[in-house]
Structure 1
Amino acid sequence: MKKKRISITDIAQALQVTPSTVSRALNGGGKVSEKKRQEIISLAKKLGYRPNPIAKSLLENRTNTIGLILPEFTHHFYSRVLAGIESVTSQAGYQLLICTSNENQNQEIKSTLTLLDARVDGILATISKMNDKFEHIQEVMDSGTPLVLVDRFSEEIETPYVISDDFKGAFSAVDYLCQIGCKNILHIKGPDNLSTTFNRFMGYKEALRKHEIEVKEELVLESSDPKLVEKIRFCLGDLHADGAFTYSDYLAFEIYKLAAELKITIPEELSVIGYADEPISTYINPTLSTVNQQPFEMGAMSANYLLNKINDSASPLEASRVDTKLILRESCRKMDG
């Protein structure tokens, strides 16, 4: 049988005082003698009284909850983003309501509406890669609910965001490949409509331009291409790619498999750099060079931006690009000297 929750009214009846007197005593309000306050607090502890968070939130017009929408949890990157967010929100006394979109726009829309219905105090979101419309995001903003985007953003949405500096991250990776003598550098892009895909591709092109190397269309592949495996095989075998930079560490692993099939050695004949510094990068052989995006720092910064907005709706729009770090491992040749 379900145990009855002790209410302020129960305490008031037991002590023959009004519920408002109990409420003031428990919440540090005035007009209650110290003796009566201690008597009320003591009985509340004895009976196991716990404040009703729903009633409290209605009174204060706050729920002390923050909604979080992430594409998934399987990638180490997003688990580190979550850890960074939680390190800030828990310390500030907020609970997280977490939803996943599974990179599906309809699921993202449902999650957004669910969080609004739950009257969260603010929302942190990584928009899904299948996103092509943002009415649900606009609905969040129109409702007055503070919103901060994490990892991905759209110029159509005027709201604070925290992303990694993908342009610099990609540039540093491809610049290194050029410096060790790579001339035919394969690039596998990410999903079409993501800011991260565009910025990493721009970094790739700028590094080639710096070293006066022509961008060859046949060496730039789309990760969504159903013939991707065949095209990677063609780039490695027929076009003799000597370097590769990929949108993710998982795409780099596809290159590893085909290089092994074609008996192309890494890093002697082919230097490879991935992106995101997923655990797979240290498990595969040879260990994979990659770009670390500092996801924990990204999560913590986005949570701080949201709390600023919750506490002061007039606070200015904040936007940051977190520095990336090139992590060199065994998949790249060493620089001469």
Structure 2
Amino acid sequence: MSLYKKRVNIRDLAKILGVTPSTISRALNGHESISDSRKDQIVQLAKELGYRPNQIAKSMVSNKTFTIGLLLPEFTHNYFNNILAGIESVSFHKGYQLFICTSDELKEKEEKSCMAFLNTRVDGVLAAVGNDSDDLSHFETVIEDGTPLVLLDRICEDLNTSYVVTDDFQGSLDAVQYLVQTGCKQILHIKGPEYISTSFNRYLGYLEGLKKNGLSLEEDMILLGEDEDFEKKLQRILDTNDVDGIFAFSDYYAYDAIKVLQKRGISIPDQISVIGYADEPIAQYISPQLSTVKQPAFEIGKHAAEILFKMIEDKNSTIMSKQLATTLIIRESTK
């Protein structure tokens, strides 16, 4: 006796019900030419017998693999997990599976991931670019292959494709404006990685915030968050400047700054106010709770997926872009 149950196929269902295999196929795909009563009968039988569609055959007929390639820098931050949830909220209902890769912000891993997507014939690609190289030829290859590509969170002006981002310039401007309104005049900016667009846009927002309020830019009030000597350099800045506000590229950089401030016995926010970016869970878990700029991560993923499916369904669709607003969240680390 065989240990394995024979897989039921469309022909088996057709034989049992005395109809053609094409009738079964149309019913299972919700075709309007099949009556509702007949559809219900066929779907019920398919469930009872454990019928599963042959995905390979389905792909050959439709010329689709019903898979999406998703490339993210990493999963350690809740922000990217929420983007993933937004994407899945759309892809699941479309009947698509995600082929997920992480780049760790390395060009080599981005290249390999893009080639893997093309080799497995995904129907579209969603990607957050994260490498420190100006060479984006692997994404150009995806576009030239005719595979729809939507960038999320970060944009690359050299790539002629659709994207969904947040308004990082305005989000940063709002943060600096709030610090100034609450009495800050010497605002330190902890800058993000030089090679990603979000760092540049948040830096521009910081500069505009200073300019709008008649505050001059001081080069020694800019600190790279990824600097190996971050703590030493921050200590030096605090020794030589009357810092009363800190605006950080991310909540994690803000947390690193808070640890240094607390080590020095500086009261937050009485002496120095701190604002982060993204509204990661850490913002509410630390003490004092961190004021931050909230990014709508779920909505980024959802809108990016919706745009991608429009591109998949209409090969002649135009390039689409969407910029979502941020929200300033005030907590205990600011006045």
Normalising by structure 2, what TM-score?
0.90
Are residues 1:263 and 2:262 paired?
no
Match of 2:199 in 1: 197
**CA separation of 1:311/1:106 partners in 2, compared to 1, >3 Å: closer, same or farther?**
same
Shift of 1:45: 5.5
Aligned partner (choices 106, 128, 137) of residue 126 of structure 1: 128
Q: 1:103 to 1:2 in 2, by over 3 A?
A: farther
> In the alignment, what sits opposite 2:236?
234
Choose 265-274 or 255-264, whichever is displaced more: 255-264
Greater Cα offset, 234-243 or 50-59:
234-243
Instruction: Encode CA deviations 1:83-104: one digit per residue, 9 max, x unaligned.
Output: 1111122122222222211222
Q: Cα deviation per residue 1:66-124 (whole Å; 9 max; x = unaligned)?
A: 11111111211111111111112212222222221122221122111112222111111
Paired residues of 1:22 and 1:40 also in contact (CA < 8 A): no
> Where does residue 76 of structure 1 map in the other structure?
78
Q: Secondary structure at the match of 1:120?
A: coil
Of 204-213 and 115-124, deviating more is 115-124
Q: Indicate conservation of the 8 Å contact 1:237/1:262, yes or no.
A: no
Report the alpha carbon displacement of residue 278 of structure 1 after superposing the two structures with TM: 0.5
Aligned to 1:113: 115
Structure-to-structure mapping, 1:1-337, within 5 angstroms:
1-8=3-10, 21-28=20-27, 47-333=49-335
3-state SS of the aligned residue for 2:171? helix
TM-score (norm 1): 0.90
- Residue 6 of structure 1 aligns to a residue in which SS? coil
Give 1:39 shift.
9.6
Q: How far apart are the structure 2 equivalents of 1:37 and 1:246? A: 57
Counterpart code for 2:178: Y
Residue type of the partner of 1:63?
T
CA contact under 8 A between 1:65 and 1:120: conserved in structure 2?
yes
Q: What is the letter of the counterpart of residue 119 of structure 1?
A: R
Q: Which runs of 5+ in 2 are unaligned?
A: none
Q: Distance in 2 between matches of 1:274 and 1:39?
A: 57
In structure 1, stretches of 5+ residues that fail to align are none
Q: How far, CA to CA, are the matches of 1:79 and 1:300 in structure 2?
A: 12
Q: Let me know the Cα RMSD of the aligned residues.
A: 2.7
- Rate the CA distance shift 1:2–1:74 in 2: closer, same or farther, 3 A: farther
How far residue 190 of structure 1 moved from its aligned partner, in angstroms, is 0.6
